Every structure is written in structure tokens, then in C-alpha cells.
């Protein structure tokens, strides 16, 4: 959007400048239009690409060629503002043409080297134009200075943007951002808001006006106008400034007044000639005969050696006049400054013509009130008669509090005699400049001010009062004290040396560094701080530096040595700078002891070498992980392909059986067997999915108080089936085993993974030992582990397999790492064990020896909670539930998967439930709102489009607060869990589930639990 906005704004500005050019045919406007048009080409191309449009190649080439001409147009524009060598403009034109040739001739993309040549040449010319614009800005003041700086910044940034773009698409966004900033700079330069231009102009114009106010009140009008021209010339950057003022107060003819020393025509000009000059609204070329310049313009240009003339009328209380700017070259952005200076000329006229002071008093009061200095009027008796805002800010009194009171309220005690002497001098007509005195503020604090006193005279020249201008210089005095404080507190030793080599300045750090007292060094030769071996050469170096003193920064690359009072030498860095004083040149030397830094640099180099080695090791590990990821993908794909093959083949067998004309009992039995195979394949897929979720810590954990002996007893038979008859399983369980808080299914996953790994390590048979024990770990036992001291339950699984070499054992818990053949393992077994154990605040250790076997030890922290209350909302499995009566409840089923929603609804309907099915949250809420009867339970999926299950439950509870909720999901961890665990009271059934499992959970929630929270995440 920013690109489109900038493009639109540029096009508006371009049209506006183009219209002005067609009206006035000004070559300067033509060059401005070309600069804007060239910059606009970049944004037009960007806007077309952002809009998804591909312009024809001819149009793209045309836009690109125009864009490459921007530096030439900018340089030509600069050549109208200041001297630019003709060869420079010609070189810029040649660069443009040479840059445009490959763009026109060669098909995109251009060779990288050629692109760099083009953008490099573009940047060089653009930088030259920016530097010249900046130099022109330094000559100007007011709004013109700021706008020229903006133009210079925009030109330079535009070259930088194209240079960055030449680096390729990777930095296209950076180039586009720099181009946008460049565009904003151009807009601030060429079309800033009027209020902003006015503000820029006021700051410079009013500063110049304040300097005019410092003039003596009895200054002749001719001198006032001369100083006005000098101030206007300084701010406006003109080669000369002339004012045309009336010859007589009544008006009529005008004559020219300029800065002091400027030879102007000694003649008067009538109203007709003045009207002819002011009738030209633009800058005119006074030396071009075809422009028919007015006589005044031609005379002033010839007298000042200039060419271009700009005139603006001067408001002087009904009298006519003009402000005339004379330039050797064209100007940009001077209109606002000229207009404001022309407006301020009225104030200058008031100063020049004391007869008009009363008429202009109100306008002058505005300037006085805007001054930051305290301007106060007093009678000769010291009574305050006027008080501006600067005085309010400086002294803290409002005008109403001081007018009519004696100025002694501002004097500190004991200063009355000094003030009386000053008033006597003013009464004699003397003017007092920058006199430092102390003044007392309203809060009692005493400040130092620079006081300027001028006599106020009546029309007869008698002194009737005093005009006082006060400026607070307390900050300057504090700055001097601060300088001394900074010198003394500087972290480097600072020594001042005169031309004779004597020490004239020393700070506290120099005393500490060299071991000398200040009195011992002042007046001594600096050679006492130089090692004796180099003192001879040091004298020559010092004399050479004083002959041509140049600042030498700290760390200039010179290895130097200094010597302390005790004779010890130390490596030092020394910076030098020269200062002109009333006592001659003083060289300041800042000395820094770099002993520690050199030692740190040596240590840093060692650390960099170590970091490079570590980085190489990390890259190697990353490569290994990528290889392991490929092994994981192959293993998972292999297992899922096997499962899918079983499901697909047995499904076809069942379909073939059902397609038979008559089903025999043996066919029904075969179909039932085939469906059993499909069910077992689904269970295998479920286990594989759970293993992946457990490894990624995305599985919902349902921790409860467990005795691991019971868990081992529950899975012992399954472990024996998994191991096979060729492996002997031995268990040694501690009968008084402490309890832990863990997820039972995850503990079974640990045991199963370790058993499978042991089985694979003993293909010819062996023994697998499984034992449990209580242990207490002290601080020394966990020094090298992530555990904390305390009580733990230890589960140890040992096999008599082949064992692992050290390099394999070191990476055993690394994700995706496996030594099994491709497709035979995923590399997740031990990684999953490690992830489950550490998630339960435990740890895993592995010890293995090749040819002997492997032992894996799992440590889990003991819990002091009792097993009476489960830690999650999951219902414990019932042993043997009695036969239940047919349910009659109404279930609101929310599932976005159509097939699963249909299957679940059929299961519930067959079981006797009344089912209200909804495909999403909005539909479910609509059913809940319109269903006339009760809804006994909400059965909702968790992750659904548009509205998550927990949000459905929360919004349903606003209408039906007593409705319990049973969530169902295969991956609810990001939505329902807190750190992977279900909050208290939240009940969930994990997908995939069986019919009986679903009905059991429904029965438990409906008859044995309280309603679940509406929003478990809050």
C-alpha cells in the first residue's frame, strides 16, 4: 500500500509541476519535472508488479531507461543552482546513455557484473548530485536550507536504493524501503505542507529579526536597512539582497538600499517602474534581452554582477517598496523565505523609521513576545513597565505580578549600588552590552545573566527609560564546571603539554596511572613519562607534531609504551589533539593503559578459535540430524505402507465375501477374521502415531499417582509376547516401591520401547532383566545431571545383547539416530523414552559395553500425593461394568469430518442415544438454541475450522450451563493442555477410539463426573 500511495502522490506532483511548466515554460521547472518523472518510474514498475501486472517489455525498457536518467536530470538541475563543470554534466549524460544501452539491447536478466557497473555508475553520479545539493543547502537558510537538505538526502538515498537493489532479490525489501524513504525526502523537499514551510522559514527569519533588535535605538534608517539586507542575504543565500524603499515618507519614488559597501545606482525609480518589476511573478533573467527585463532589474543585476532577479512587495504601512534578490544562478525553494522576509520587512521599517514605531508596536510586540530572552522595560527610577514571556520563563513571575513594582525584587542582596551605577550610565545615554550580573528568581534561586541595557528616548531624544535584555548564562558557567568535572572523572589519563614540552594540565586519572602527584608533574617535561630508550626520538616527534598539529584518535594503530614513577613500563594507546589558547598551542594527550585489553584480546582469539571448532561440530551434528530425518521418514513410511496394505487387502477380501450371492457360515467367519485383521492394523497405526506424538511431546498426558510395579505387572504378558520365546524375561520388583506421578500409557510406552530395543539387540536369544528400587540422590549424585537432590524411583532394564560402542552410545538418545537397516527402525525408540522421562521431571542413563550388553536406567521423582483422587479428568477404566439399561439421553455431536461424524452418530444411535449432529461450531450453537428439549452431553471435536471445540463448549455453557462436555481429538495438545497436561476437570477421549471405548467414556461422564469447564485454557 505504501508503494501505491507514493506512486499516486508522485504522479499528482508530476502533473502539478508539468502544468506549472506548461504555463510558465521555466527550464528550472522542466528539470524538476524530469527528476520527479525519473523517480516515479521506479514506483510505477513496483506498483505494477505488486498489482500482479506484467507490462510489455517495450514499456519496461522505456521506464528503466527513464529511471537510469535520474542522476543526469538531478545533476542538470543542480547546474542551474550553482557552478557545475560542463564536463561533469556531459559525463553524467554519457553514463546515462552507456547504462541504457544494455537495458535496451540485452534480454533480462542482465549479467551480474554488468548490473553492478550500471548501478555503480548510477550511484556515483547520484552521490555527486547529492553532495552538490548539500553544499548549496549550507549556503542557504530558513526553509530553503531544510528543503535542499531533504533533496540532497532523497538524491543520495535513491542512489543507495538502486545500489542495494543491484545486490539481487534477497535484499529487494531493503532496497524498496530505502527508495520509499528517498521518495519521502523528495516530497518533503518539493511539496512540503504550507505550515511546515512556514515553520522552517520562521525559525531563521525571526532569528535574524532578533539580531536586528539588538541594534541601538538611535541607529539611522539607512544603516538599519543595510543590516536587514545583510541578514536576508545570509538566510536566503542570495548573492545580494536589495530593498527598494520610499524616498519620502509620503511614498512615491523609491530608491535602492543594499548591504554596506555595495555600489548601487544613484537614482530613483517611479511607481510605474516598480509596478513593472512586481508584475513579474517569477524569477527573471535580467541579462537576456528577449525577456525584456524591467529597468530596475537590469540596473541592479549590472551593479551587483548577477543575472537572475526575484522581487517581492514589502508591506510598509501603506507605502510601497520591494525586496529584491539577486543571484548568479537560479534558486530553489526560496519563495517561502522571501515571502516571510518581505513580511518581516515591515518590522525592519518600524525600526528604521521611528515615526512609525507606534503604528507598528503591536507587530513588534509579537516578535518581542516570541523571544527566548527576557526583555524588560523600566523607568529611570527602576519601575518595571513591560515584561515579556521570556522574562516570565526566566524569572518565574507573570507580568501581572511585576508590572508597576521596582526591579529591586530581582536583585540579590548587596547588589543595589551596582544597579544604581548602571542606571546612571543609561541615564547619560550610554548603551551597556553583555554585562554579567546575578539575578534572583521567584523561587529564590540566583542565576547569572548576560545583561544588555539600552536607553529609551522620547521624540525629543531625552532618555525616559531603559530596555533590558537578559539571557541566562548559568548553563554556560555550569558547563565550565562540568568540563572540569568531566576532565577529572575521565577514565583516561589526560595530560596537556605546551610547545616547550612542559606539562601544563593533568587530571586525576593521570595521577593514578603514572603514580605522580599533580604538583610533581605540573611544569615538568613530558619526557619523564617516556621510556628512556625513546626519549631522543620523542623530542623530534613532538616538535614535528607542533609544527603541523592534527588530531590523532585513540587506537591509531601505533604500539606505544609509557613509564610510571616507579620505573615500570606499560603498553599504552595515546590520542592527540591541539587546542589554540591565549598562551599558545596546547596539545592534549589522552593515555590509556591497554595491558588488560591485550590480554583480553589474546583470550578472545582463543575463544574465537574454540567457537569456530564448536560451529564446525554443530554443522556436523546438523548434517547427522538431516541424515537421521531421512531414516525416520523411511521407517515411518515403511510401517504405514505395511499397515495400509493390510487394511486395503483385507477390505477387498471382505467386500468380495459380501458380494457373494449367498453367504455361508464359513464366509461370515472368514469376513469376521478379515475385519479383525483390519482392526489390528488400525491398532498398529494408532501405536505408531502415539509414538510420534510422544516423541514430539505433542501427546496429551494424563498423569496419575502410579506404582510402577503395577504398570510392569499390567504389561508383563505383552512384553513376553513382544520378546518372543528365545528371550528370557526376569523381573525383580521392590515390594515397598514409592509412588510417582506419571501417565500410565507413557510408562508402558517406555517399557515397550526398551523391550523392543533389547529384543533387536539379542537376535539369537538372551536375558532381559527388569528391576525397580527406591533411591535417594544427594547433591553430589546430581552434580552432572539435570535432576535435583531428593527421592526417586529407579526402573532399570538390562539385556545381554551385543552392546554398543562408545560413539553409538553417545548418540543413542539423539532423535532420528538408528543403526538398524533402512526401513527397519525410525530412530525414535530411545529418543521417545528420553522425552517422556524428562517431561516427567526425570532422567535417563545408558551404560553399554560391546559384547556384554546394555543397561538403561530411568529415574522418576517420587510424589507425596495419594492415589485417591485422579489428577486429570480421565475416568479410570472399570473392571467389569454391570449390564447397563438402554440410554435415553440426548447427545449434541460436533465433528467437522463427515465420515467420522456419520460413524459416531450411528454408534450412539444404536446404543440408544438421541443424537443431534452438527458439522461445526456455529451449527452446534444453532441446534442448542433451537432444540426444545434437554441436551445431556456435548461430544465435540477439539480442532475444527472457524471455531475450536473449547470455544463451542464455552458458548454453549452460556445457554446451557449444566451440560457436561466430552472432548474427542487425536491432537488436542495446542488447544486444551497446559504444558502437555490436561487441566483438572477436562475429559477427553483420544482418536481413534473403538465403539465400546466411546460408550464407556460417555457413560462415565454422564453418570460419574461433574460438568467439564467451558474453557479449559483459562
User: Regarding beta strands 843-849 and 965-969, do their DSSP bridges make them parallel or antiparallel, or are they unpaired?
Assistant: unpaired
Q: Look at residue 348 and tell me whether its pLDDT is greater than 80.
A: no
Cβ partners under 8 Å of residue 197, min gap 6: 143, 147, 336
Interior CA angle at 503 toward 501 and 505, to 5°?
A: 140
Q: Look at residue 792 and tell me whether its pLDDT is greater than 90.
A: yes
Distance CA 824, CA 828 (A): 12
Q: Look at residue 829 and tell me whether its pLDDT is greater than 80.
A: no
**Exposed e or buried b per residue across 491-523, where buried means at least 16 C-beta atoms within 10 angstroms of its C-beta:** ebbbbbbbeebebbbbbebbbebbebeeeebee
Per residue in 20-69, pLDDT tens? 545 556 677 677 777 767 777 776 776 666 666 677 777 777 878 877 88
Per residue in 124-149, pLDDT tens? 888 888 898 888 888 877 788 888 88
Cβ partners under 8 Å of residue 985, min gap 6: 873, 1010, 1012, 1013, 1016
Distance CA 65, CA 41 (A): 9
Q: Look at residue 219 and tell me whether its pLDDT is greater than 60.
A: yes
Sheet containing strand 890-894, edge to edge, reads 914-918, 890-894, 937-941, 965-969, 988-990
Model pLDDT, residue 1012? 43
The pLDDT confidence band at residue 916, using thresholds 50, 70 and 90, is very high
- Give the closest residue to 960 by CA, choosing from 999, 932, 992, 1000: 932
Helices then strands (H, E): number in the chain? 32, 27
The pLDDT confidence band at residue 823, using thresholds 50, 70 and 90, is very low
Per residue in 520-534, pLDDT tens? 888 888 888 888 888
Distance CA 368, CA 384 (A): 16
Model pLDDT, residue 203? 72
Residue 463: CB atoms within 10 Å: 16
User: Regarding beta strands 322-327 and 308-313, do their DSSP bridges make them parallel or antiparallel, or are they unpaired?
Assistant: antiparallel
Q: Which uninterrupted H or E stretch holds 446?
A: strand 446-457
Higher local confidence (pLDDT), 207 or 807: 807
Q: Look at residue 808 and tell me whether its pLDDT is greater than 70.
A: yes
Residue 755 grid coordinates:
523391550
The pLDDT confidence band at residue 882, using thresholds 50, 70 and 90, is low
Percent of the chain with pLDDT over 70: 82
Q: Look at residue 917 and tell me whether its pLDDT is greater than 90.
A: yes
The pLDDT confidence band at residue 15, using thresholds 50, 70 and 90, is low
Report the pLDDT averaged over residues 790-818: 83
Sheet containing strand 493-497, edge to edge, reads 503-506, 493-497, 584-593, 569-581, 560-563
The pLDDT confidence band at residue 974, using thresholds 50, 70 and 90, is low
- Give the closest residue to 858 by CA, choosing from 888, 896, 832: 832
Distance CA 322, CA 257 (A): 11
Q: Look at residue 539 and tell me whether its pLDDT is greater than 60.
A: yes
Interior CA angle at 341 toward 189 and 318, to 5°?
A: 135
Report the pLDDT averaged over residues 833-838: 84
Distance CA 68, CA 166 (A): 13
- Give the closest residue to 235 by CA, choosing from 208, 195, 262, 197: 208
Q: Look at residue 861 and tell me whether its pLDDT is greater than 90.
A: yes
Residue 445 grid coordinates:
534561586
What phi and psi, each to the nearest 5 degrees, are found at residue 450?
Answer: -95, 120
Model pLDDT, residue 691? 61
Model pLDDT, residue 125? 85
Cβ partners under 8 Å of residue 173, min gap 6: none
Report the pLDDT averaged over residues 432-455: 87
In contact, 496 and 506? CB cutoff 8 Å? yes
Model pLDDT, residue 624? 62
**Exposed e or buried b per residue across 382-411, where buried means at least 16 C-beta atoms within 10 angstroms of its C-beta:** bebebbbbbbbebbebeeeebeeeebeebb
Per residue in 991-1006, pLDDT tens? 788 888 889 889 888 8
Model pLDDT, residue 118? 80
Q: Look at residue 769 and tell me whether its pLDDT is greater than 90.
A: yes
What phi and psi, each to the nearest 5 degrees, are found at residue 572?
Answer: -145, 150
Q: Look at residue 605 and tell me whether its pLDDT is greater than 60.
A: yes
Q: Look at residue 460 and tell me whether its pLDDT is greater than 50.
A: yes
Q: Which uninterrupted H or E stretch holds 741?
A: strand 740-742
Higher local confidence (pLDDT), 369 or 979: 369
The pLDDT confidence band at residue 879, using thresholds 50, 70 and 90, is very low
Model pLDDT, residue 696? 53
3-state secondary structure of 162: helix
Residue 947: CB atoms within 10 Å: 18
Model pLDDT, residue 877? 43
Cis peptide before 992 (omega within 30 of 0): yes
Per residue in 65-107, pLDDT tens? 877 888 888 888 888 878 888 888 888 888 888 888 887 777 7
User: Regarding beta strands 790-799 and 853-861, do their DSSP bridges make them parallel or antiparallel, or are they unpaired?
Assistant: antiparallel
Q: Look at residue 463 and tell me whether its pLDDT is greater than 70.
A: yes
Report the pLDDT averaged over residues 765-781: 89
Task: Rank 204-208, 668-672, 752-756 by mean pLDDT and report only the highest.
Answer: 752-756
Model pLDDT, residue 709? 92
DSSP 147: H
Higher local confidence (pLDDT), 113 or 690: 113
Q: Look at residue 978 and tell me whether its pLDDT is greater than 60.
A: no
In contact, 256 and 343? CB cutoff 8 Å? no
Model pLDDT, residue 202? 73
- Helix, strand and coil content of the chain, in percent to the nearest 5, comes to 50, 20, 30
User: Is residue 184 exposed (0-12), middle (13-18) or buried (19+ Cβ within 10 Å)?
Assistant: middle
User: Global pTM?
Assistant: 0.36
Query: For the chain, what is the mean pLDDT?
Result: 79
- Give the closest residue to 768 by CA, choosing from 780, 752, 784: 752
For the chain, how long is the longest CA-to-CA vector?
A: 140
Residue 731: CB atoms within 10 Å: 14
Q: Look at residue 845 and tell me whether its pLDDT is greater than 60.
A: yes
Model pLDDT, residue 636? 67
In contact, 443 and 400? CB cutoff 8 Å? no
Model pLDDT, residue 871? 37
Q: Pick the range with the lowest mean pLDDT from 155-164, 400-409, 466-475, 860-869.
A: 860-869
Report the pLDDT averaged over residues 937-963: 90
Higher local confidence (pLDDT), 784 or 548: 548
Higher local confidence (pLDDT), 822 or 927: 927
Residues in the chain: 1018
* CA dihedral (945, 947, 952, 954) positive or negative: positive
Model pLDDT, residue 297? 86
Per residue in 284-293, pLDDT tens? 888 776 667 8
Higher local confidence (pLDDT), 827 or 493: 493
Q: Look at residue 330 and tell me whether its pLDDT is greater than 90.
A: no
Interior CA angle at 727 toward 721 and 732, to 5°?
A: 90
Per residue in 491-516, pLDDT tens? 888 888 998 889 988 888 888 888 99
Distance CA 222, CA 819 (A): 102
Q: Pick the range with the lowest mean pLDDT from 484-488, 609-613, 728-732, 933-937.
A: 484-488
- Give the closest residue to 338 by CA, choosing from 198, 150, 211, 214: 198
Report the pLDDT averaged over residues 467-476: 83
Cis peptide before 155 (omega within 30 of 0): no
Tell me the domains of the chain and their CATH numbers. 1-82 (no CATH), 194-365 (3.30.450.40), 373-477 (3.30.450.20), 483-597 (3.30.450.20), 704-861 (3.30.565.10), 890-1007 (3.40.50.2300)
User: Regarding beta strands 463-472 and 374-379, do their DSSP bridges make them parallel or antiparallel, or are they unpaired?
Assistant: antiparallel
3-state secondary structure of 876: coil
Higher local confidence (pLDDT), 233 or 876: 233
Report the pLDDT averaged over residues 723-736: 89
Model pLDDT, residue 1017? 41
Q: Look at residue 340 and tell me whether its pLDDT is greater than 60.
A: yes
Residue 381 grid coordinates:
527610577
In contact, 703 and 981? CB cutoff 8 Å? yes
Per residue in 225-284, pLDDT tens? 888 888 888 877 788 888 888 877 655 688 888 888 888 888 888 888 888 888 876 678
Report the pLDDT averaged over residues 479-486: 76
Q: Look at residue 976 and tell me whether its pLDDT is greater than 70.
A: no
DSSP 375: E
Cα–Cα distance list, 299 to 281, 287, 302, 311, 535 (Å): 19, 10, 5, 14, 69
Amino acid at each position: 500500500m505504501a508503494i501505491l500511495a507514493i506512486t499516486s502522490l508522485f504522479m499528482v506532483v508530476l502533473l502539478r509541476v508539468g502544468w506549472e511548466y506548461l504555463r510558465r515554460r521555466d527550464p528550472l521547472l522542466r528539470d524538476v519535472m524530469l527528476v520527479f518523472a525519473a523517480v516515479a518510474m521506479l514506483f510505477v514498475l513496483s506498483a505494477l508488479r505488486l498489482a500482479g501486472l506484467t507490462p510489455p517489455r517495450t514499456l519496461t525498457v522505456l521506464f528503466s531507461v527513464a529511471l537510469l536518467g535520474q542522476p543526469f536530470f538531478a545533476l542538470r538541475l543542480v547546474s542551474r543552482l550553482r557552478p557545475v563543470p560542463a564536463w561533469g554534466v556531459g559525463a553524467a549524460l554519457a553514463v546515462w546513455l552507456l547504462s541504457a544501452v544494455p537495458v535496451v539491447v540485452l534480454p533480462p536478466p542482465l549479467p551480474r557484473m554488468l548490473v553492478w557497473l550500471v548501478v555503480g555508475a548510477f550511484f556515483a553520479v547520484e552521490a555527486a548530485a547529492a553532495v552538490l545539493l548539500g553544499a548549496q543547502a549550507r549556503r542557504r537558510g530558513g526553509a530553503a536550507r531544510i528543503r535542499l537538505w531533504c533533496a540532497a538526502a532523497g538524491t543520495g538515498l535513491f542512489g543507495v536504493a538502486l545500489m542495494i537493489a543491484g545486490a539481487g532479490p534477497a535484499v529487494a525489501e531493503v532496497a524498496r524501503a530505502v527508495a520509499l524513504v528517498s521518495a519521502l525526502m523528495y516530497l518533503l523537499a518539493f511539496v512540503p505542507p504550507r505550515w511546515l514551510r512556514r515553520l522552517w522559514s520562521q525559525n531563521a527569519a525571526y532569528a535574524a529579526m532578533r539580531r536586528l533588535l539588538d541594534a541601538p535605538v538611535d541607529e539611522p534608517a539607512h544603516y538599519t536597512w543595510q543590516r536587514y539586507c545583510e541578514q536576508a542575504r545570509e538566510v536566503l543565500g542570495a548573492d545580494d539582497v536589495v530593498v527598494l524603499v520610499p524616498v519620502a515618507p509620503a511614498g512615491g519614488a523609491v530608491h535602492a538600499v543594499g548591504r554596506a559597501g555595495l555600489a548601487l545606482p544613484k537614482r530613483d525609480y517611479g511607481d510605474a517602474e516598480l509596478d513593472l518589476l512586481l508584475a513579474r511573478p517569477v524569477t527573471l533573467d535580467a541579462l537576456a534581452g528577449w525577456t525584456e527585463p524591467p529597468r530596475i532589474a537590469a540596473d541592479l543585476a549590472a551593479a551587483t554582477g548577477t543575472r537572475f532577479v526575484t522581487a517581492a512587495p514589502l508591506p510598509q504601512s501603506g507605502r510601497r517598496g520591494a525586496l529584491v534578490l539577486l543571484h548568479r544562478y537560479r534558486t530553489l525553494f526560496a519563495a517561502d523565505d522571501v515571502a516571510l522576509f518581505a513580511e518581516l520587512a515591515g518590522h525592519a521599517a518600524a525600526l528604521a523609521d521611528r515615526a512609525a514605531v507606534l503604528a507598528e508596536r503591536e507587530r513588534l510586540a509579537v516578535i518581542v513576545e516570541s523571544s527566548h530572552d527576557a526583555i524588560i522595560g523600566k523607568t529611570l527610577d527602576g519601575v518595571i513597565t513591560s515584561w515579556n514571556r521570556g522574562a516570565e520563563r526566566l524569572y518565574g513571575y507573570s507580568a501581572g505580578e511585576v508590572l508597576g513594582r521596582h526591579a529591586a525584587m530581582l536583585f540579590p542582596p548587596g547588589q543595589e549600588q551596582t544597579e544604581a551605577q548602571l542606571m546612571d550610565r543609561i541615564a547619560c545615554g550610554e548603551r551597556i552590552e553583555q554585562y554579567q550580573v546575578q539575578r534572583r528568581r521567584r523561587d529564590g534561586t540566583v542565576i547569572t545573566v548576560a545583561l544588555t541595557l539600552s536607553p529609551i528616548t522620547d521624540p525629543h531624544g531625552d532618555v525616559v527609560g531603559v530596555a533590558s535584555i537578559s539571557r541566562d548564562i548559568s548553563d554556560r558557567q555550569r558547563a565550565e564546571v562540568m568540563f572540569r568535572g568531566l576532565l577529572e572523572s575521565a577514565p583516561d589519563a589526560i595530560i596537556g603539554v605546551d610547545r616547550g614540552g612542559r606539562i601544563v594540565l593533568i587530571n586525576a586519572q593521570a595521577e593514578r596511572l603514572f603514580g605522580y602527584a599533580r604538583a610533581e608533574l605540573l611544569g615538568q617535561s613530558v619526557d619523564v613519562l617516556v621510556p628512556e630508550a625513546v626519549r631522543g626520538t620523542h623530542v623530534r616527534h613532538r616538535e614535528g607534531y607542533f609544527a603541523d598539529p592534527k588530531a590523532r584518535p585513540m587506537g591509531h594503530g601505533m604500539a606505544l609504551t609509557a613509564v610510571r614513577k616507579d620505573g615500570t613500563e606499560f603498553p599504552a594507546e595515546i590520542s592527540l589533539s591541539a587546542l589554540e589558547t591565549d598562551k599558545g598551542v596546547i596539545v592534549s594527550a589522552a593515555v590509556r593503559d591497554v595491558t588488560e585489553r591485550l590480554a583480553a584480546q589474546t583470550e578472545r582469539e582463543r575463544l574465537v578459535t574454540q567457537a569456530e571448532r564448536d560451529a564446525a561440530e554443530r554443522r556436523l551434528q546438523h548434517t547427522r540430524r538431516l541424515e537421521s530425518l531421512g531414516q525416520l521418514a523411511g521407517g515411518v513410511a515403511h510401517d504405514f505402507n505395511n499397515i495400509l496394505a493390510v487394511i486395503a487387502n483385507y477390505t477387498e477380501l471382505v467386500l468380495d465375501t459380501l458380494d457373494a450371492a449367498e453367504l455361508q457360515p464359513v464366509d461370515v467367519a472368514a469376513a469376521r477374521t478379515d475385519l479383525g485383521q483390519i482392526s489390528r492394523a488400525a491398532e498398529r497405526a494408532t501405536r505408531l502415531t502415539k509414538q510420534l506424538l510422544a516423541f514430539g511431546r505433542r501427546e496429551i498426558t494424563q498423569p496419575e499417582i502410579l506404582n510402577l510395579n503395577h504398570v510392569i505387572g499390567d504389561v508383563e504378558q505383552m512384553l513376553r509376547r513382544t520378546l518372543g520365546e528365545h528371550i528370557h524375561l526376569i523381573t525383580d520388583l521392590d515390594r515397598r516401591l514409592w509412588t510417582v506421578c506419571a501417565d500410565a500409557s507413557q510408562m508402558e510406552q517406555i517399557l515397550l520401547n526398551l523391550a523392543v530395543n533389547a529384543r533387536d539387540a539379542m537376535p539369537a536369544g538372551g536375558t532381559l532383566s527388569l528391576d525397580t528400587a527406591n533411591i535417594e540422590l544427594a547433591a553430589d549424585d546430581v552434580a552432572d545431571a539435570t535432576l535435583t537432590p531428593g527421592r526417586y524411583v529407579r526402573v532399570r532394564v538390562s539385556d545381554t545383547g551385543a552392546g554398543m560402542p562408545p560413539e553409538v552410545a553417545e548418540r543413542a538418545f539423539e532423535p532420528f539416530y538408528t543403526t538398524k537397516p533402512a526401513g527397519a527402525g525410525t530412530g525414535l525408540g530411545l529418543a521417545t523414552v528420553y522425552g517422556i522421562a524428562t517431561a516427567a521431571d526425570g532422567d535417563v542413563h545408558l551404560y553399554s559395553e560391546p559384547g556384554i550388553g546394555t543397561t538403561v536406567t530411568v529415574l522418576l521423582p517420587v510424589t507425596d500425593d495419594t492415589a485417591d483422587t485422579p489428577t486429570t479428568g480421565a475416568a479410570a477404566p472399570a473392571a467389569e461394568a454391570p449390564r447397563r439399561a438402554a440410554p435415553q439421553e440426548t447427545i449434541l455431536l460436533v465433528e467437522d469430518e463427515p465420515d467420522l461424524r456419520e460413524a459416531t452418530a450411528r454408534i450412539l444411535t444404536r446404543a440408544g442415544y438421541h443424537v443431534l449432529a452438527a458439522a461445526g461450531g456455529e451449527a452446534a450453537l444453532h441446534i442448542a438454541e433451537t432444540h426444545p428439549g434437554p441436551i445431556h452431553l456435548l461430544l465435540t471435536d477439539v480442532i475444527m475450522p472457524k471455531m475450536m471445540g473449547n470455544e463451542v463448549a464455552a458458548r454453549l455453557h452460556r445457554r446451557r450451563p449444566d451440560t457436561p462436555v466430552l472432548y474427542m481429538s487425536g491432537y488436542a495438545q495446542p488447544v486444551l493442555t497446559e504444558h502437555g497436561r490436561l487441566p483438572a476437570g477436562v475429559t477427553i477421549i483420544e482418536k481413534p477410539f473403538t465403539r465400546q471405548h466411546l460408550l464407556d467414556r460417555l457413560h462415565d461422564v454422564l453418570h460419574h463426573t461433574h460438568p467439564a469447564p467451558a474453557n479449559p485454557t483459562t
